[in-house]
Amino acid sequence: MPVIARIKHVSIIAVAVALLVGATTLIPPGASATPSSSLRRYPYLTDLVLGGVTVNWATTTGIATGSVTYGRSGSESCTAHTVTAKRTAITVGSTAEYQWKAVVTGLSRNVAYCYRIQGGGTDLLGSDASPVFRTQLAAGSTATFSFAVIGDWGFQDTSALNTDQANIMARIASSGARFAVTTGDIAYQSGSQTNYGDLVQTGPYVSEVFGPSYWTVPGASIPFFNVLGNHGLNSTALTNWPEGRAASSSSGRYAMETYCCTNGTRSASYPSAWYAFNTGRARFYILDAAWANSNVGTADLYKNDHDNHWTTSSDEYEWLAQDLAAHPGGLKFAFFHFPLHSPNSTEKSDTYLSGADNLEGLLADNGVDVIFNGHAHTYARSTPEGMPVSYVTGGGGAHLEPATVCGAPIAAALGWSYSSSTHGSSCGSLSRPTSIDQVFHFLLVTVQGGKNVTVTPTDEQGRTFDVRTYNFG
């Protein structure tokens, strides 16, 4: 068993050291890390907008109070300031736990802060080092920053560690990304609290996200922005990834709502999640383009998503059109689940969203520069004429799929088949992969000078491929 499977908690420093020396598995920190046994989810960050961030963690129910202490890294104690946390009762497996969140505001822009979490009068991190994160850039700043994009992950179908996913998490942790954005589908198969899991419980489809080798590794220092997918369309997504300040500050939506009863679907309560935020001269659009597998009625996933979210009279479409019009100029990025241009025949291109008369056209007409999708468990870069460049990044940890639908507008793609004799597949400018570790990947996106954007696809071994730099003027 690789060493990464045996360590209880992994520090960001340990991750970076392991990667810098070329290791393929992590080594435990030199000093013994002893967080409190009451800690069930290691602290992780969300909602990095304006001058604030939300700190999240989980404990046993024996911890009745919680708080976060923080300070400017290098100039203040990490316990200089305190914010009280609120708790939500959850159940992971058969265990009752408390999910905590503390909303920290009033932070300076583009500044590193360290923090610690407290519970019941105890420092829950014990002897672990204080995590450090950096706040968002001020509006209009042209300082360089990077962010990670990862899709279709949170997967462990046996009791064994998903080493491909663990390697991706380690690469993100050492990437220098200020924050991360998903393209949807987290915590297979249903996005339950048990699928998300904790630091202790193990098994098939258990602790696929908050297990010690997964989001625990980058999450304490790299804030996360959630995108909904067709797996896990329930309230758990909103509980585990609170993004309330991003939604409220952009007049977006982040709430459970009743959907009834398009195309013969049954009335159901689903999360609605769409919002926007700024980093420097860039605006990020987190969109809801998904539908539940279990409720298709007489249509399919794509049509149900379109008819509920993307007609010109839909709430989300109207919000997006208004926000785009209110924010002319600058860089714009859009993130949603169903793919505009897919290289896979099963998780195919969504023709209800692609084209000049649909969502793709709305984004193009309003200056969106790059679009990121998931759903197809592949990598793809597409360059449709007159439209923004778009990426499919669905190789974050779930079982991969082949890339066999080639041709314009797909300029490059990678995929993998577990059943075919050749396994690897590719389109366009990329060579056929010869090993599966060439296909599991994330994207590191770097913005320089407020206009130059470099997209660096990075596989689980740290190798980069299909690197492209765009000057958006």
pLDDT in tens, the chain (473 residues): 333 333 334 443 334 333 333 333 333 333 335 788 999 999 999 999 999 999 999 999 999 999 999 999 999 999 999 999 999 999 999 999 999 999 999 999 999 999 999 999 999 999 999 999 999 999 999 999 999 999 999 999 999 999 999 999 999 999 999 999 999 999 999 999 999 999 999 999 999 999 999 999 999 999 999 999 999 999 999 999 999 999 999 999 999 999 999 999 999 999 999 999 999 999 999 999 999 999 999 999 999 999 999 999 999 999 999 999 999 999 999 999 999 999 999 999 999 999 999 999 999 999 999 999 999 999 999 999 999 999 999 999 999 999 999 999 999 999 999 998 999 999 999 999 999 999 999 999 999 999 999 999 999 999 999 999 999 97
What is the rounded CA–CA span in Å between residue 409 and residue 354?
11
Q: Can you give the pLDDT at residue 35?
A: 86
Q: pLDDT value at position 33?
A: 56
Residue 97: domain span:
34-134
Q: Report yes or no: 157 and 458 within 8 Å, Cβ to Cβ.
A: no
User: Coil, strand, or helix at residue 301?
Assistant: helix
Where a domain ends, among 92, 113, 134? 134
Residues 195 and 80 in one domain: no
- Whether residues 51 and 199 fall in one domain: no
The answer to whether residues 228 and 334 belong to one domain is yes
Q: Give CA–CA dist 274/5, Å, rounded.
A: 35
Q: Which long-range contacts (CB under 8 A, 24 or more apart) does 80-89 make?
A: 82/118, 85/55, 85/117, 88/239, 89/61
- Tell me the β-bridge partners of 45: 55
Please tell me the total count of domains within the chain.
Answer: 2
Residue 228: CB partners within 8 Å, gap ≥ 6? Answer: 184, 237, 271, 273, 288, 290, 337
Are 149 and 128 found together in one domain? no
Annotate 359-393 with b (16+ C-beta within 10 A) or e (fewer).
bbebbbebbbbbbbbbbbbbbbbbbbeebbbbbbb
The last residue of a domain, from among 98, 114, 134:
134
Residue located via tokens 């797996």: 231
Instruction: Mark whether 150 and 125 lie in a shared domain.
Output: no
In a domain, 59, yes or no: yes
Which of 113, 134, 155 corresponds to the end of one domain?
134
The whole-number pLDDT of residue 1 equals 32
Could you tell me if 324 and 434 lie in one domain? yes
* Domain presence at residue 25: no
Strand segments, DSSP code E, in 3-152 are: 39-46, 53-60, 66-72, 81-84, 86-92, 95-104, 112-119, 122-123, 132-134, 145-150
Is the domain of 72 the same as that of 111? yes
Considering the domain boundaries, does residue 139 fall inside one?
Answer: no
- pTM (2 d.p.): 0.93
Q: Residue 149 belongs to a domain with what CATH number? A: 3.60.21.10
Domain co-membership, 183 together with 122: no
Dihedral (CA of 324, 317, 245, 178) sign: negative
